[in-house]
Structure 1
């Protein structure tokens, strides 16, 4: 039987280049011959550029799925946004999530000519009201009644529709139609929610998903913020108690160092790049302080980056 070590060096390099960085590291540790090949600088690009490109493309796709919403239906975009971070159980955080989402989506959906105009502000307000109603309906449909016995679960699609339309100001009907939010699409959306109430609830939706616990456990590499509560400051204003976890250096540093796209500022730091392991976090911490990393280490780090 032919083994990897029986192949010409050119083929050995080609086979190794198809492996994940963690497997290359493992072979490097156990075989001196392969270690010599892997450590040879002239082989580094051939070995690792494919794996790095694959990881960068994967990270870019995950980010774009949530943030590149031009041409994406409002209800589909809303699902993408929430499914990435799950449905938060802290009611006070809804306004923060919805404000950021609606501003981000409307900026990409509306004509550039009306951005930063009073008309745009009216549309964003109507969208925020509507998305908050949808989020509440999701929670009412999905919620754990042992902890939230006062919630009223919509039993039928007609009840869902009636409640959802309460969140749609009459004056905004024309804007909603223009933005593709129709009764037909809303009815289909409601059917999906009723059929699978946890459709936007990621596996992290437990008591621990209440900030800050979930944020601290994710090893954030870029800035991430959360709002633990909000208190009325006046009739039309609220004060938010903000938890802010800063990343390594600034957010641009990580994107530049790893050659991955920045998370848009319009996301209001609701999402972050995180390290999947302590090893990755420590290596990037050392790199931010000026320590050089090998291409193999950088490849392993890219494979371990999580968009949360």
Structure 2
């Protein structure tokens, strides 16, 4: 059985966007990230005071909004370091008064806006046993999760379910001067909209080497090193959906970071053996998965 290095993690995620300035405003004023660099049509965001890029926003010229029944991002999940930071982020979003777009403007931009709160674009919240999480949608329909893990000895067997958060307990932990996601926030996992569970299992598990934490007919949760999941994948919006065209908004690429070149090369060799086309990059390579999603594998930079 092939196995990816246990210290493998998710790096950053890049979104193609239609309105760069509005999206920057949303991610800074609502989500709590900050721009650490902006070059031309690209903005790079991290946690407040952070140095590591978590999210890249790239403006499309004459771009079209993504269609829901396509492959791509279901949500990008920002992992905060403490339960206190999670509670502060949650209550900060619920109390947020920054109006980036009016409800009417949002309705014209993306059809799902009637399902979420019109200012913060808050969607839902859950206790998953292994973590506590809440969910948003950005202004162009990309899903966002903000979560905090519980200690591993509290995770239990297998992936958790979904029960309501203990809001009373969380309220006692809130820092009402909270200014944004902490500097050491990371992308804990990505959840993808895929075309086919079996083909994704063949690619990510049998070839790349992730471990299965849960597999159902319509979803797959996989990880390295026993984590609850680094990648979630589902066909909840339909099987064999197409990948969106290049001029559509949404996921451009996400990165998988390995600890050293030997671990990277092992994955690359397995992909080449299975006849996947590899494109070399400065610090690794890219490959397209069976759902048409571009994945960048790279080496950890000290």
Give the TM-score normalised by the residue count of structure 1.
0.25
If each structure's helix is expressed as a fraction of its own residues, which one has the higher value? 1
Relative contact order higher in (CA < 8 Å, ≥ 6 apart): 2
If each structure's strand is expressed as a fraction of its own residues, which one has the higher value? 2
Give the TM-score normalised by the residue count of structure 2.
0.25
